[in-house]
Structure 1
Amino acid sequence: MREVGVRGAGPATYRCDRQVADVEDLRDHLGLDRVDLLAHSAAGDLALLYAARYPRRIRTHTLITARARALGVDFTEAHRREAAALRTAEPWFGAAYDARERIRAGSDADADWDAIAPFFYGRWDAAAQAHAASEVAQTHDEAAEIYASSGAFAPEAARAAVAGLDARVLLLAGEVDSGPLPRIAADIAKLIPRAELVVQPGAGHYPWLDDPRRFTRTVATFLGQEPGGPAV
């Protein structure tokens, strides 16, 4: 059994493709033949690269409002605007949209970044606000900068690899999320043979906060379609 964590030798290892072997080390350390792999947001890139490199180690693949730059698919500014247009009736929309425009013009003011937080949630309630308030303490700016840096992705190769993936895959998108929009999540699903797309009504980028029961039921139902196997 290999040790876990020996590959973490400085900032260069933060790049997404360089973390794939760490996931494999963890699987091996746990003594699992196959895993149920669940990833959210930018971690979708890492999960897809793992599936491309180790397809026989995947039992199921659950991608929650996940990015797919690894496959050459990503959200754009136009997608952000499309999703924002769905929120015009929200009481916070005016202030959030103005802050968003200032950020696009180059603002890095904390107040502007705080003001756009509601766009990422289906409901801007107490749970969402508490979640947003915890973000800064959990953010590693250097790692975020390196994670998707040049050389991290080879989309053509990854797409060819996942085209042969035999594992079942769930893509769960939020109805009002922009990263990815539901129709972009549908494009991602088309690249994976056994992919199933579920769009959670009223959900943003954190669907487990917007409707915990629906989210849990969706994921549990998907995982329960096959017996056994712990999730990683």
Structure 2
Amino acid sequence: MPTFSAPDGTELAYHLVGEGAGEPLVCLPGGPMRASAYLGDLGGLAELRPLVRLDLRGTGDSAVPADPASYRCDRQVADVEALREHLGLEQMDLLAHSAAGDLALLYAAAHPRRVRTLTLVTARGRALGVDFTQEHRRAAALLRSGEPWFDAAFASYEAVWADTATDEDWDAVDRFFYGRWDAAVQAHAASAMDQCNDEAGDAYATADAFDPAATRAAVAGLDARVLVLAGELDGGPLPRVAAEIAALIPHNELIVQPGAGHFPWLDDPSWFSATVAAFLKG
């Protein structure tokens, strides 16, 4: 397992996945602060492009930092730049999922010439002042009203929003985050508890981590091509909110994956991998 040192001395790990041709696709996991193992091979994308999956500080095989405040999203931009330097890449193809969308956007704002392409997969845009709401989650959940499991799962979602949820309620709402629910997907959902650093997640997106006006101004001049990939059934973000994120970035392409939730590479691996690979080829 390869490692490198962050600027503050924290030893960070990354995982090389696949034997695809070309330069690696550097992948940032969400969670927030979930070990990169949940990304897997991104629906077979690793067969087309080698993946470098970074374990963010304090997650997976990366060390816990001496300063817990360094979990803050903007402070981890330096970790991503240290990885680029370690890999010897003049420019990177960068992919970010979910909460890592904020980190990738902050990195692109700080190091625009180091980003060749940016792929934002069901990604948050708090760094740009765009985010989803409880009502967005509700709207997405209601798209599943025809499912036989909907009534019980939606009642659990209501308990979550009311802050009265039990562990069983939290387990029940997992179904809303996936377009399908077979044994492999259920195992993926169950793995989250052991892969997330909750302390780090709480520190990741504090209000002082973001300066949306400054970031918007910075990415307005970004030359990199940007793919914003949303899931048709995802509430975080809804496709229309993903479109708001895309509209703030030049050279953007918005694609909505049919029937997909928050983890689209699991819902239709072939569709996902082919779509991302085609974008990377340009």
Scaled to the shorter chain, the TM-score interval is over 0.9
Between the aligned partners of 1:202 and 1:108, the Cα distance in structure 2 is 27
What does 1:161-176 align with in structure 2 at a 5 Å threshold? 161-176=218-233
Name the one with the larger helix percent: 1
How much identity, in percent, do the aligned residues show? 67
Describe the superposition over 1:168-197 as per-residue Cα deviations: whole angstroms up to 9, x where unpaired: 000110000001100111111110010100
Q: Alpha carbon RMSD of aligned pairs, Å?
A: 1.0
The amino acid that maps onto 2:231 is G
Cα drift, residue 9 of structure 1: 3.1
Matched with 2:6 is 5
Matched with 1:229 is none
TM-score (norm 2): 0.77
Provide the secondary structure at the position in 2 that maps to 1:197: strand
Matched with 1:110 is 167
Matched with 2:265 is 208
TM-score (norm 1): 0.94
Match of 2:77 among 20, 31, 35: 20
Provide the secondary structure at the position in 2 that maps to 1:13: helix
Count of matched residue positions in the alignment of Structure 1 and Structure 2: 223
2:107 pairs with 1:50 = yes
Describe the superposition over 1:104-141 as per-residue Cα deviations: whole angstroms up to 9, x where unpaired: 22224211100100000011222221111111011111
Matched with 1:186 is 243
Confirm or deny: 8 A CA contact 2:120 2:227 kept in the other structure: yes
Between the aligned partners of 2:67 and 2:151, the Cα distance in structure 1 is 42
Specify which structure has the bigger relative contact order, considering alpha-carbon pairs within 8 angstroms and separated by 6 or more residues: 1
Provide the secondary structure at the position in 2 that maps to 1:87: coil
2:282 pairs with 1:199 = no
Cα drift, residue 20 of structure 1: 0.2
The amino acid that maps onto 1:128 is V
Provide the secondary structure at the position in 1 that maps to 2:208: coil
Structure 2: unaligned runs, 5 residues or longer: 9-64
Describe the superposition over 1:54-90 as per-residue Cα deviations: whole angstroms up to 9, x where unpaired: 0000000000000000000000011011101100011
Matched with 2:190 is 133
The amino acid that maps onto 2:5 is V
